[in-house]
Amino acid sequence: MRGRLGVIVLCHGRLTRAAALVRHFARAGVRVAVHVDAAVPEDHAGPVIAALAALEGVVLVPRHACSWGGWSIVAATEAAARVLLGRFPDVGHVLLCSGACLPLRPVAEIAAHFAALPDTDHIETHPLGATRWTKGGLEAERFTLRFPFAFRGQRRLFDAAVAVQRRLGLARRLPEGIAPHLGAQWWCLTRATLAGILDDPEGARLRRYFRGVWIPDEAYFQTLVHRHAREILPRSPTFARFDASGRPHVFHDDQADLLAATGALLARKIWPGAEGLYERFLGDPGPAPPADGRLDALLAAADLRRAEGRAGLAAPGRFADRSGRAPTARPYGVFCGLDAEARRAAAAAGLVLHGHLFDPAGAAFAGGGMTGPGALPAAPFWRDYAPADFLRNLIWAGREGTQAFLLRAADTGAIGPILARDANARGLVVLRGLPGEEALCAALRAPEARHAIALIEARAFDADPARHIGAALAALGPEPAGGGAR
Amino acid sequence: MSFATPLFTRLRLRLRRERLLARARRAYRGLSPLADRTGTIAPDAVVLCATIRNEAARLGHFLAHHRRIGIGHFLIIDNASDDGSAEALMAEPDVSVWSTRASYRRAGFGMDWVNGLLHAHARGRWVLTVDADEAFVHPHADTRPIGALTDWLEGQGLRAFGAMLIDLYPRGPVEGAVCPPGADPLTVAPWFDPGNYTIRRNATHGNLWIQGGVRARVFFADAPARAPALNKIPLVRWGRGMVYASSTHMLLPRGLNSVYDRAGGEFASGALLHSKFIAGLAGKAAEELRRREHHAASREYRAYAAGLAAGVDLWCPQSVRYEGWRQLEALGLMSAGNWA
């Protein structure tokens, strides 16, 4: 039977957008079951519920209090599904949405999409262990540990309970007849599959088990669908992504075109204030553009920035003292004891070569100004106040090219150890028995040194300067050339 | 708060916080309401709090900019203005105004008033605390209002949002950068230093300490340790027991100061465009020197007065003209973090 589309809308928080979504579905002839979290205050929920209940084809579900990561969300979904299937015998597919979902295509098109495959369930479902689906945190242990404490609100107890169970090797036994699967919460199931899950003869036993599974809304239907489905398209109809900390990415007006090009039928989570998105997609979204991966790429880049940041940057949001990574943005050259040769070589190789940056009288920037890259002052006070910041700023500001600078061994008191710890420090120190060389060598040869500056005796250098300079320049390439001290 | 912190330090911070809370309560009682419209604030509005003195020329743009980014209500403390600032503010429907003639310095450089006002009117709200010569810029500011940011922060489980003060300046003598009343000072002073900032971490309070920019380069080149702090935590979801401990540079409890990542990643952060260097600063510096109401016996203002009298040009060849938040992000002065 080619039935109508039915939609379950799970609502919590601000209800205005959820109500608009319900109206949008109802207007298009879709059957809707609405569940409003019991935690939404009555003075807000009451009027919205009353207005929705009066709509043709909309039914309200008795309210459960839903807590994140707990069974209550599944219980509410099952309750809504029962009401929807019981009340509307013409429903063929049931789509699960939240109040923060937004259809990206006209409802008629969405309904036709599902109706065209009357026996197909659209649900993301990955067998455990195939690929890692979850972002950090627990995966297989969601099914085998017990979770007496809330992840949000009782985090320390939650973590302690997990640690204790691991230590003691405690594990729940999986019930017979299921193979654990995980997937996104938002699906579209056929009436037959959904009814099969609701009325499963083993249902009571399975529900008892899944009550104890962590985040069952990503496991219960995704696992049980395999007991009842005829055909599974293992992909969620809804574009929803989580960031590395497991929080949903939220979409805004400026992402309208990117959302349209995801190829998905719906998207979540939409910012309630995204007037432009609601206007466009609840109005006329226009023809579907060819699907591309731009939004996924954008989200991945954002996650990467949050996780790894930009190398060599110190900023109000990034103080990477515990990163274990080089403090500077890219490799740079340090030349000590070969001023004339370095100048010639740098000019030939197209490097930006600064003069004696750590001259006690002031920094000699390339170009010789009172200020250098990033507007660093040439005056010595600021440089000597925070030499590591001075160097980091210099390399960051000039990171489009390759920079190098001259050093006098006598000037290296403060900067020697800083260079030594930086894996991006490359170049050449020629030992000519000048004052300060001993301290510089000690710093560069310290056990914690990570630089790649070559140290060479004057005799060896003078025998074949071109070879040594060539090697030092080659080490300035964009790829890190190992980290050990020479 | 980390358990690794010595008990003594934790006790000391706790006592300091309690003392500041008590001062805030007392200070609030000393404020007289000139226009209290706090009853009209929408439940989910982001509010702004500022202390002002004789800012009539700046208020027009200050209000317009922050209305444009989505501020729903302004809570303003007027510290004895005599240029009509208070009257102008009272006429605005989305502004509540309190007045005090008490000493700015003795009120913890205004922070006792701010803390008191926030506890009385901003608990449970996101509140942006800035000065009249600052303009808040957040990631995606060109397409998303501040409410989108605070909703996102809320969803991330964050309660505070850091921003860096960006000192702007004109090209040529400062007294030549005449900004008509109500106009955007960016039009006459759009330049800033792109990358000469030092960053340290305050182990006791857990906040970053950022110095640099034009003020450090020109006025504190020979005394870097005294250069003004540019780190701010201006946007906070205000709650019981919170206090700003030193301007908006740090909060207590100090967990609120963790607005940055230490493992190499980037937290989202914003910027405060600081338009101090426009014509009129010389007069202001002279007045502040007379009043001695500012930090460090107004050392900063002495430096300005000397420099401005000499007609110093703050511009240098590496100066960058302000274009927008994406430019600041590319330079590394702010970040959208994982707010895609």
Q: pLDDT tens for residues A240-264?
A: 999 988 899 999 999 999 999 999 9
In this complex, which of A252, A319, A371 lies closest to B199 when CB atoms are compared?
A319
What whole-number distance in Å separates Cα of residue A395 and Cα of residue A437? 24
For residue A1, pLDDT beyond 60? no
Q: How far is CA B210 from CA A378, B143, B249, B255, in A?
A: 19, 28, 10, 18
CA distance A379 to A364: 9
Average pLDDT, chain A: 93
Domains of chain A: 4-307 (3.90.550), 332-474 (no CATH)
Percent of residues, chain B, with pLDDT higher than 90: 86
Place of tokens 């910012």: A271
pLDDT in tens, A211-232: 999 999 999 999 999 999 999 9
Nearest to A375 among B196, B222, B334 (CB): B196
Output the CA torsion A444→A450→A453→A454 (10° steps): 80
Task: Give pLDDT tens digits for B113-141.
Answer: 999 999 999 999 999 999 999 999 999 99
Q: In this predicted structure, what is the pLDDT of residue A298?
A: 97
The reply to whether residue A319 touches residue B262, judged by beta carbons under 8 angstroms, is yes
Average pLDDT taken over every residue of chain B: 94
Q: Do A382 and B224 touch (CB under 8 A)?
A: yes
Tens digits of per-residue pLDDT, A156-203?
A: 999 999 999 999 999 999 999 899 999 999 999 999 999 999 999 999
pLDDT of residue A136: 67
pLDDT (0 to 100) of residue A478: 53
A290 burial via Cβ count (<10 Å: 0-12, 13-18, 19+): exposed
Q: What is the pLDDT of residue A374?
A: 97
Task: Give A253's contacts in chain B (Cβ within 8 Å).
Answer: 143-144
Q: What does the pLDDT read at residue A90?
A: 96
For residue A272, the Cα-to-chain-centroid distance in whole angstroms is: 22
- First and final C-alpha spacing in chain B: 29
| Cα(A287)–Cα(A91) distance, integer angstroms | 27
Q: b/e map of A153-186 (b: 16 or more CB within 10 Å)?
A: eeeeebeebbeebeeeeeeeeeeeebebbbbbbb
To 5 degrees, how large is the angle CA A252–CA A42–CA A281?
25
Residue of B nearest to A298 (CA): B340
Q: Check if A481 contacts B (Cβ < 8 Å).
A: no
- Other C-beta atoms closer than 10 Å to the C-beta of A366 total 18
User: Contact A428/A460 with Cβ under 8 angstroms?
Assistant: no
Peptide bond into A269 cis (omega under 30): yes
- Closest in B157, B316, B338 to A302, CB measured: B338
Residue B1, pLDDT > 50, answer no
Q: Which residues contact A89 (CB under 8 A, 6 or more apart)?
A: none
Nearest C-alpha in B relative to A384? B224
User: What's the gap in Å between the CA of B27 and the closest CA on chain A?
Assistant: 31
**B62-87 per-position pLDDT tens digit:** 999 999 999 999 999 999 999 999 99
Place of tokens 């001695």: B292
Assess: ipTM above 0.90.
yes
State how far the Cα of A268 lies from the Cα of A262, in Å rounded to an integer: 12
Of A262-271, A474-483, B150-159, give the lowest mean pLDDT range: A474-483
Q: How does residue B3 score in pLDDT terms, banded at 50, 70 and 90?
A: low
Does residue A467 belong to the interface with chain B, where contact is any CB pair within 8 Å? no
- Biggest CA pair distance of chain A: 95
Q: What are A190's strand-pairing partners?
A: A93
Q: What is the pLDDT of residues A290-337, one digit of tens each?
A: 999 999 999 999 999 999 999 999 999 999 999 999 999 999 999 999
Residue A466 pLDDT exceeds 50: yes
- A166 in contact with B at a CB cutoff of 8 Å? no
pLDDT at residue number A67: 87
Residue B75's contacts (CB-CB under 8 Å, 6 or more residues apart) are B38, B47, B48, B49, B50, B96, B98, B117, B118, B121, B122, B127
A257 CB neighbour count, 10 Å cutoff: 11
> Quick check: A483 pLDDT over 60?
no
Output phi, psi for B172, to 5 deg.
100, -175
Query: So what's the pLDDT on residue B298?
Result: 63
Q: Which residues of B175-193 are buried (b: 16+ CB within 10 A; e: fewer)?
A: bebebeeebbbbebbbbbb
The arithmetic mean of pLDDT across residues A420-428, rounded, is: 96
What is the C-alpha separation between B15 and B60, in angstroms, rounded? 40
Give the containing element (helix H, strand E) for B22: helix B7-29
Enumerate residues 213 to 272 of chain B having a beta carbon within 8 A of any beta carbon in chain A: 214, 216-217, 221-225, 231, 259-269
**A308 in contact with B, Cβ within 8 Å:** yes
Contacts of B267 (CB under 8 A, 6+ apart): A306, A317, A318, B162, B259, B260, B261, B335, B337
A225, A232 in Cβ contact below 8 A?
A: yes
Omega within 30 of 0 (cis) for the link into A387 = no
Q: What is the pLDDT of residues A105-162, one digit of tens each?
A: 999 999 999 999 999 999 999 998 777 777 767 888 999 999 988 888 888 999 999 9
Across the interface, of B143, B152, B221, the residue whose CB is closest to A250 is B152
Question: What is the pLDDT, as a whole number, of residue B296?
Answer: 56
For B258-316, the pLDDT digits (tens) are 999 999 999 999 999 999 999 988 778 778 777 777 665 467 777 787 777 778 899 99
pTM beyond 0.90, yes or no: yes
Separation between Cα atoms, residue A451 and residue A97, nearest integer Å: 54
CB contact under 8 Å between A318 and B197, yes or no, is no
Where does A116-154 have alpha helices with state H? 141-144
Q: Residue A59 is encoded by which pair of tokens?
A: 């039914």
B194 close to A (CB below 8 A): yes
Q: What is the pLDDT of residue B304?
A: 80
Residue A364's identity, in one-letter code, is A
Q: Tell me how far apart the alpha carbons of residues A12 and A15 are, in angstroms, rounded to a whole number.
A: 7
pLDDT at A42: 92
User: Measured between alpha carbons, how far is A268 from A101 in angstroms, rounded to an integer?
Assistant: 5
Task: Read off the pLDDT of residues B224-237 as tens digits, 9 standing for 90 and up.
Answer: 999 999 999 999 99
